[in-house]
Copies of this chain bind each other. A is one copy, B any other.
Amino acid sequence: MGSLAADETCGVQEQPDVEDSSRAVRAQWVLNTPEPPGAWRELKQTVFHRANKLRSSCSQKGVSKCVLSVLKNIFPILHWGRNYKATKFKNDLMAGLTLASLSIPQSIGYASLAKLDPQYGLYTSVVPPLVYSLMGSSREIAIGPVAVVSMLLSSLVQKVIDPVADPTAYRNFVITVTFFAGFFQAVFGLFRLGFLVDFLSHAAIVGFMAGAAIVIGLQQLKGLLGIDHFTNKTDVISVMQAVLRSLHHPWSPLNFVLGCSFLIFILAMRFVGRKNRKLFWVPALAPLISVVLSTLIVFVTRADKHGVKIIKHLEGGINPRSVKEIELNGPHVGEAAKIGLISAIIALTEAIAVGRSFASVRGYQLDGNKEMVAMGVMNIAGSLTSCYVATGSFSRTAVNFSAGCQTVVSNIVMAIAVLVALQILTTLLYFTPIAILASIILSALPGLIDFNEAYNIWKVDKLDFLSCIGAFFGVLFGSVEIGLLVAVTISFGKVILNAIRPSMEFLGQLPGTDIFCSTNQYPMAVKISGTLIIRIHSSYFCFANANFIRERIMRWVKEDSEEGEEEVNGNTKMRAQVLILDMSNLMNIDTSGIIALEELHKELVSRGIELAIANPCWNIIHKLKLAKFVDKIGGGSFFLTIGEAVNTCLGSKMVNLKI
């Protein structure tokens, strides 16, 4: 239970007899609470909650309706599809086409970031969005390849297989990783393990994304400068060394000029779009325009003969099957599973953050576990059709939203448009310069770096900022894995630190009320002479903090008795005769905690101080009874509120309570 540290004996005094008897009744309430549910029962309830709910709803409705409701649950499109209207479709069509015009160049760019052939990016913009539109419940999210996951995949996979030496093995491995990522995502959703995604705190994600953006940007120097020999490492130092090394070799400045001018063009268009909200389609179309223009320029001037690197071969046609490419019993299957798990978590983190923030703008709620299942199935389907890991893209979702999408149908429109492009446009992309892909990727990066949010985090919580900056520098100077590890370690370090070093406070009475609260937070609260009222700021009194709490309380008791002796002439303050432990905040206790309580009790008794316990919760009173602690200190030492404890204990010591 918890915060009820006040009793009803205020305002006008009731008759003493009634008062005493009702207090006795309430003390019995504390001691005779019903038994809390066992650990096993609680576990069962959590795990089978959904199954039970389903069974009960099925038994009410009948089988056929039940099947329909299950189907609607799995495929939300069955639910909202019935009310889908032509007006909505008009909006979705426009949004979908805008989305496609941005998706096509970005997909090609991200595929090159993942060190795959350009068509694999396009494939990934076809099947996953179609599957998601059947199963997903977000209305705005835009599915497809994203920068961070592409970079993550290439940086992790190329440690196992070299993409230059053996591109086929590399591609097969990426597809296997995609399968595992989908599998893990689906498992997370089915077994309600969504909390695994929460292991990355908001602050860590902000830091990680910013670090990843810089790392991705540095990787683009390869395309932008037209460098042949580049490093496989992703940290700043290795990349800068590789760039400096390559500048000594002959390189074509044409690549750089071409890439930079179109980068400036795209950024300028974005500026236009930001100034006038109605022109949202200008920045969305800019990448496609850049691709078309630059391809034309190269085609007309044959600049590829003067050192401008071009895509050259781009295979068209619809997604080929890739069931046979998934290697579940190869030598690297363990590595593939590990990389799949990391990408699954990063992809989910991004998709759920994106989906949730737009859902909250539109005022509806996303079910995290359901979303994970949808993501998982979409990536498994993707791994069977030559796609790599897809997720919700932040930049494209924002475009989709501003373009006025109504439902996930805009994703279907986009997927069809990309499919058409795969059939028709691919031969036209032969002359597209690689530097343009680099500038398209670069133009998407500023959205990943959020200075404002980092500043807010610093302002609100310094420790949170530490995990933000830890993830940032980890990615920048170590690797993606090190960045993630640093972030998770710092985050959980905080949780554990919070558990092992709980703060404790003295409580006082607010004047004119029977409310007891912290004398630090409320300076007007008055400490009651002859008592020490202490509240422990922890929810778990356990091995990790029991001795710390016990020692600090005893130090305070000692200090109080020393002060009391000194000030006794001034007659201002009496030495504490009662120590009231407010247990409102404690939710659980373990055997180490109970032993510490017993020791505390003994030490207090040896100093002639009485121990009273106010407001112990369900679990705690139950465990204290089992451990016979209640028998040891006596049931009369347990109270429902601090006020009752003060009145009873000081009353029995014949001390006047009037403040």
Contact = CB atoms under 8 A, between A and B. Distances in A.
B460 A623 contact: yes
A279 to B, nearest CB: 29
Query: Looking at chain A, what size class is its interface with the partner chain?
Result: 35 or more
Nearest to A196: B500
A494 B365 CA distance: 31
Interface of A: 1-12, 14, 22, 26, 29, 33-34, 36, 38-40, 194-195, 198-204, 356, 360, 363-365, 368, 456-457, 459-464, 491-492, 494-496, 498-503, 505, 507, 510, 512-518, 520-524, 535, 537-540, 542-548, 551, 554, 582, 584-585, 587-592, 594-595, 599, 602-603, 605-606, 614-615, 617-618, 623, 626-627, 640-642
B194 A516 contact: no
Contacts of A491: 543-544
A610 to B, nearest CB: 16
A547 B33 contact: no
Nearest to A598: B360
Nearest to A641: B515
Contacts of A594: 460
Where chain A touches its partner, the secondary structure class is mixed
B2 A582 contact: yes
Contact of A202 (B198, B364, B543): B543
Contact of A626 (B11, B194, B356, B460): B460
B546 A2 contact: no
Contact of A514 (B6, B26, B498, B522): B6
A456 B3 CA distance: 30
A425 to B, nearest CB: 41
A523 B554 CA distance: 36
A500 B516 CA distance: 29
Given A11-B10, A539-B502, A554-B365, A584 B3 contact: yes
Given A1-B522, A499-B495, A602 B360 contact: yes
A347 to B, nearest CB: 17
9 contacts: A3-B3, A3-B615, A33-B522, A195-B500, A457-B591, A461-B589, A491-B543, A495-B542, A539-B540
A608 to B, nearest CB: 11
Contact of A585 (B495, B513, B587): B587
A9 B11 CA distance: 7
A197 to B, nearest CB: 8
Contact of A590 (B3, B201, B590, B602): B201
Given A7-B515, A363-B605, A494-B590, 20 more contacts: A1-B535, A2-B517, A6-B641, A7-B513, A11-B12, A26-B510, A199-B544, A204-B543, A360-B603, A363-B602, A363-B603, A456-B591, A460-B626, A464-B590, A495-B496, A495-B499, A495-B544, A538-B539, A584-B585, A585-B587
Closest 9 CB pairs of A and B: A201-B543, A3-B584, A3-B3, A6-B6, A363-B606, A3-B5, A1-B518, A202-B592, A4-B515
A22 to B, nearest CB: 7
Residue with the greatest number of chain B CB neighbours at <10 A, chosen from A8, A22, A518: A8
A539 B498 contact: yes
A198 B38 CA distance: 27
B591 A464 contact: yes
Contact of A368 (B499, B547, B584): B547
Given A542-B201, A543-B202, A594-B460, A513 B368 contact: no
